[in-house]
Structure 1
């Protein structure tokens, strides 16, 4: 099957390579990558045979919105666009209206797998019409991980791929997936910190590694923490600063809107905000209050810190 891939970064480039290994023809475009096959979006559309399929794998937000809008003006009725970035599901619903007015198909695809997806495959959560998904199913089949087999050797359905519902359902599913990921990483991080804080534990990396087999908390994330500790046993080369890409915030927003309690995911999101503060204004206020009502000692700002420019 022929596919146009817009965006050849760490994810898009590896996805294009995995598809080529599976026998599909991929025409790639990226504004800056030397691996591109064409020099423009019009050139990409021209290089593809109708009905065209184009996968958009660029940063979420305005870059994605601008790319999708331009494609809507370049493509012909019957063509399909798959939007695979970490977009908010409400953007997909806006794009779907635009595409339907022009006779174009639109699919949103939540993609998980990171830099390991080239070899291991990508978990795919897609939203769109049944007809549009069926048109591009060979692409999804090539990207997803190999299906596990039952005792008789038959492939078990569902693993690594789901048609979650109409347009928007794919990115909504990926949003919740990433919210859960936030909470899992936070729990592993807190456990690591406690192990490292006590003198009783002499081999912190070894304890974490021991959890990867036979325990109920084993996971791929835990395997990656073991890998990180193997490279840097005390994580001294890494600053404790964690960004959030948006999905955690959107998950909590939807929890509020739908009155679904999510204390763990919400706490993990707020912990990321805390990681960006060298000196917490909240805790300054707490210290001042303790001093005011109880006379508790406060720590003064060191002279060199007080002299820092604002």
Structure 2
């Protein structure tokens, strides 16, 4: 078999198949391989007219089909399956070749694999790919990590197949080793928060505003024309406006109220704890999904007393919908701000040089959280790469200021009426925590010093101190 393929894709599930087709549609010859040879033959038979494919049935044939430096993209299940495929292909490669992991791998695994393969002279590139199966085929957001040298070769290919916004590709080099998969993980964490916030807005509009699903769909369509414009708002309107073919009722009413998850939200929360990054809106959204699946617990709590939820008049409901829009927007800004802050924390921890403006730029298209205000986030970080928070940028700060009263009224009303809004509440509490002049953490540290001699700092002089609590009249001592 002649070495004629620019890139190879092994693992031809939905995502792998569509990425291979995307490369072929952009003029690249693509070697394709799958553990089941039947799937390889089926792809070429069905989609061979879209471009040049080279079908390979064995690992040796697959590697032999690739031009040097070889570019081999894995689209297999994360975890042990990825390690197994690497172990199969790495011995067949030569220094300078590249293994590209396009799956949803944990960034720590990517760092481990990159370090191990680097010793063999092989570039390992962890790539976050967002946009689902449609994005993979028509243009995803692509977040590659790995070496600068590998991006010099792969960058033009990723930029070619990525989504485009204002003529700019939604692909960029994120940073060394696991940076690409880390940023994709945070993207998914923000996605969890965004979806939960939208769901809470729907619940409030229905339970308090008295709107039906079709009416709420119209409200979301209107919101999508303004500052909340985004892919998730757009598809929410479609879902709420959909009628179930079997019952003839609203589709949302026949769906079991139990949300699944594939793990990236959990990874975001777990990693945030390791980094001491307070991504509270993201974590509460993740816990809300977990709570939705706690069938026994929900049954035990059902029927316990809660608030009353009288429906508003139509005039009141219109004002209420405006308040919900403000609360949703403010909470959404906080959730995105938490994500960017977590990326900054990780960059310091792992020595990554991440262009935060570029992250916003490549998320404007192709990915699930693409939204109109991402261009404003891009501009904010382009103007000040060291921006600590979006809320230090004047326009975002003014919008949060303007949303204060309705945001607080919505959270308070939800509490009085017993409607769960964990993400709204967490976003508001995060805002209030960080803007506070003084926190009760002073008391926490005093307690820690009492029971564990953990020491404390003082506001009036430098150093760390300890109080002898058994004899509180004794003077404190330097730690």
* TM-score, scaled relative to structure 1: 0.83
In 2, Cα distance between the equivalents of 1:81 and 1:60?
A: 14
In 1, Cα distance between the equivalents of 2:11 and 2:195?
A: 28
In 2, Cα distance between the equivalents of 1:234 and 1:190?
A: 18
Partner of 2:285: 268
The answer to whether residue 190 in structure 2 is matched with residue 180 in structure 1 is: yes
Quick one: which of 215, 218, 227 aligns to 2:238?
227
Structure 1 residues 39 and 237, CA gap change in structure 2 (3 angstroms): farther
In 2, Cα distance between the equivalents of 1:252 and 1:50?
A: 40
In 2, Cα distance between the equivalents of 1:90 and 1:199?
A: 45
Q: How many matched pairs?
A: 279
Structure 1 residues 282 and 42, CA gap change in structure 2 (3 angstroms): farther
Partner of 2:442: none
Report deviation, 1:26.
0.7
Structure 1 residues 229 and 31, CA gap change in structure 2 (3 angstroms): farther
For the Cα contact (< 8 Å) 2:217–2:238, is it kept in 1? no
The CA deviation string for residues 81-120 of structure 1, in whole angstroms up to 9 with x for no partner, is 1111100011111111221122111111101011221564
Quick one: which of 184, 189, 196 aligns to 2:199?
189
- What RMSD over aligned residues (CA atoms) do the two structures have, in Å? 2.3
Greater CA drift, 264-273 or 188-197: 188-197
The CA deviation string for residues 227-285 of structure 1, in whole angstroms up to 9 with x for no partner, is 22233444134222222222111211221112111111010111111121223179559
Q: Any residues of structure 2 matched to 1:38-117 within 5 Å, and which?
A: 38-117=56-135
Secondary structure at the residue paired with 1:231? coil
Report deviation, 1:172.
0.4
Report deviation, 1:134.
0.6
Partner of 1:136: 154
Structure 1 residues 119 and 42, CA gap change in structure 2 (3 angstroms): closer
Secondary structure at the residue paired with 2:261? coil
Runs of 4+ in 1 over 6 A off after TM superposition: none
Secondary structure at the residue paired with 2:269? helix
Which runs of 5 or more residues in structure 1 are unaligned? Answer: 150-155, 289-310
In 2, Cα distance between the equivalents of 1:221 and 1:199?
A: 21
Partner of 1:14: 18
* TM-score, scaled relative to structure 2: 0.55
- The structure with the largest helix share of the pair is 2
For the Cα contact (< 8 Å) 2:189–2:282, is it kept in 1? yes
In 1, Cα distance between the equivalents of 2:209 and 2:184?
A: 40
Secondary structure at the residue paired with 1:103? coil
Q: Any residues of structure 2 matched to 1:14-33 within 5 Å, and which?
A: 14-32=18-36, 33=39
The answer to whether residue 181 in structure 2 is matched with residue 163 in structure 1 is: no
Partner of 2:253: 236
Partner of 2:337: none
Partner of 1:153: none
Partner of 2:43: 35
Report deviation, 1:65.
1.8
Greater CA drift, 178-187 or 87-96: 87-96
Secondary structure at the residue paired with 1:91? helix
